Structure 1
Amino acid sequence: MLSTFLVILYFGLFYSNGELSVTVPDLKNTEAPIYMAIYKDNEDFLNTKKMFTGAKAEPNGNKSAVLKVELPEGEYALAIFQDINGNGELDTNILGIPKEPYGFSKNYKPVFSAPKFRDCSIEVKQDTKVSIRLLD
């Protein structure tokens, strides 16, 4: 029993959690849900099947939404989108360009290609707050 407690205490000292709070302001559509994918490394970035975790928020008529999630402290990159048509997926055109509002941490704006992990990575510590504006 004591050994189990010591193991938990040991890992707690090195792997503390932080709360990530992401505000999505100035919503044009105040009803459609917002989805967030959280990635832990470059290899998996933007592969929704390999995201570290995710979150969903409903604006419920508000001009902004807040997504909150508990994460181990560390480096992450975030991708969000607003699901205007309610199918649970980010719809894209034939070239792969999103047809629904989307955004990335650091408010990265892609020009000719999707961003890389390093373009969007943020450090999550205790009570980390970021704001991500949606791109149309």
Structure 2
Amino acid sequence: MKTMKIMFLFLLLSVIYGDATYTETFDLKVTITNINTLKGTIEMGVFNNSKSFLQQGKEYNTYSIEVTSDTVFILLKDFKKDSYAFAIYHDINSDKECNLSFFGIPKEPYAFSKNYRPLLSKPSFNDCKISLHQDMSIVIDLLD
């Protein structure tokens, strides 16, 4: 009888708390287009908050993909329901940095999620964020 009570209690707790640790995740297919030079790598930083946005070393995740065609596909698997922003550049010379002009403008092709095109300053997280709440596909065009 005591064993039966313990089993019932365990079963009850499993039902109550079993879903508490489950986090729904989604996949995001990112297609990067307008790649004009077929060498180097596409470097992508993924950010999930405004405080760390565009801060090197503070990314939620990073990806580096060798360029072999004018379009690159990246499948991001098992991302939690959240808002994300992407900063991308084409590292043509493979030096692992986005080379900038004297004025801080990228010399190498670059892009942001939502195809945001900055005018006179860096974009904000809100300018570029997408809300991931289901499996999705997005297309991001590099700017020369």
**Into which bin does the TM-score normalised by the smaller protein fall?**
0.7 to 0.9
TM-score by length of 2: 0.83
1:94 Cα offset (Å): 2.0
Residue 33 of structure 1 is aligned with which of 31, 41, 50?
A: 41
Residue 80 of structure 1 is aligned with which of 72, 88, 99?
A: 88
1:120 Cα offset (Å): 0.3
Q: Contact 1:55 / 1:68 at 8 angstroms: preserved in 2?
A: no
TM-score by length of 1: 0.87
1:101 Cα offset (Å): 0.4
Aligned residues: 133
Unmatched 5+ stretches in structure 2:
1-9
Change (3 A) 1:82 1:9: same
Report the counterpart of residue 108 of structure 1 in structure 2: 116
Change (3 A) 1:11 1:95: same
Paired residues for 1:1-136 under 5 Å = 9-12=19-22, 15-60=23-68, 62-70=69-77, 71-136=79-144
Q: Aligned partners of 2:133 and 2:109: how far apart in 1? A: 28
Q: What is the Cα-based RMSD across aligned positions, in Å?
A: 2.0
